[in-house]
């Protein structure tokens, strides 16, 4: 902060319309801050889902390679513990978190669910980025108007 010189005028009248612009800028700034925090959280979640998707694919491929290469009796017994038989067909199941609970699903179902989640998160990221850009554009317009009227008597910059 600095002190105003005697020559500088601090007497700028704030009209009702100006106050409305200041309030609108403040609301947009708060929404922007919240949207950026939400966007960061969703990007982090998407990265985690992408990593899980890759892990499931690797696990599925390694299961397929073991079947192709053949396994020893000990490996067969261990594998038997991690598989379930459904309708006479053996299928590998993995735990998959749905809400607050875990369900055992096949690799194919897990892959399908993860792909849907990736698409949902990507759409949400795009929506928030668009919303953020529109907010920034509107804030820039308000900044121009308010700085033109109030000059250095108003601070509209983020800390």
45, two tokens? 């979640």
> Above 50 in pLDDT, residue 137?
yes
- Who wins on pLDDT, 86 or 29? 29
The mean per-residue pLDDT over the stretch 29-38 comes to 95
Nearest Cα neighbor of 131 from 40, 8, 31 is 31
- Gap between the Cα atoms of 158 and 152, Å rounded: 15
Go through the domains of the chain in sequence order and give each one's CATH number: 16-152 (1.10.287.370)
Residue 47: both structure tokens together:
């990265």
* 3 state SS of 12: coil
Q: What is the pLDDT of residue 90?
A: 46
Instruction: Give dist(CA 24, CA 2) in Å, integer.
Output: 27
C-alpha to C-alpha distance for 125 and 45, rounded to whole angstroms: 11
pLDDT at 139 exceeding the cut of 60: yes
pTM: 0.70
For the segment 82-128, what is each residue's pLDDT rounded down to a tens digit? 444 444 444 578 888 888 999 999 989 999 999 999 999 999 999 99
Q: Is the pLDDT of residue 48 over 50?
A: yes
Which residues make beta-bridge pairs with 83?
A: 92
The string of pLDDT tens digits covering residues 49-84 is 999 999 988 888 887 645 444 444 444 434 443 444
pLDDT at 156 over 50: yes
Nearest to 142 by CA among 16, 9, 46, 19: 19
Expressed in angstroms, the distance from the first to the final Cα of the chain is: 13
């Amino acid at each position: 902060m600095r002190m105003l010189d005697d020559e500088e005028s601090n007497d700028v009248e704030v009209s009702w319309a100006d106050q409305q612009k200041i309030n609108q800028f403040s609301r947009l700034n708060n929404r922007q801050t919240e949207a950026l925090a939400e966007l960061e959280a969703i990007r982090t979640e998407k990265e985690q889902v992408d990593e899980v998707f890759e892990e499931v694919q690797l696990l599925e491929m390694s299961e397929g390679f073991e079947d192709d290469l053949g396994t020893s009796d000990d490996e067969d017994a261990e594998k038997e513990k991690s598989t379930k038989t459904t309708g006479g067909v053996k299928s590998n199941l993995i735990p998959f978190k749905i809400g607050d609970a875990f369900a055992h699903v096949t690799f194919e179902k897990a892959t399908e669910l993860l792909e849907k989640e990736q698409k949902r998160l990507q759409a949400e990221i795009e929506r928030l980025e668009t919303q953020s850009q529109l907010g920034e554009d509107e804030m820039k317009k308000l900044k121009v108007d308010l700085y033109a009227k109030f000059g250095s008597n108003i601070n509209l910059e983020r800390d």
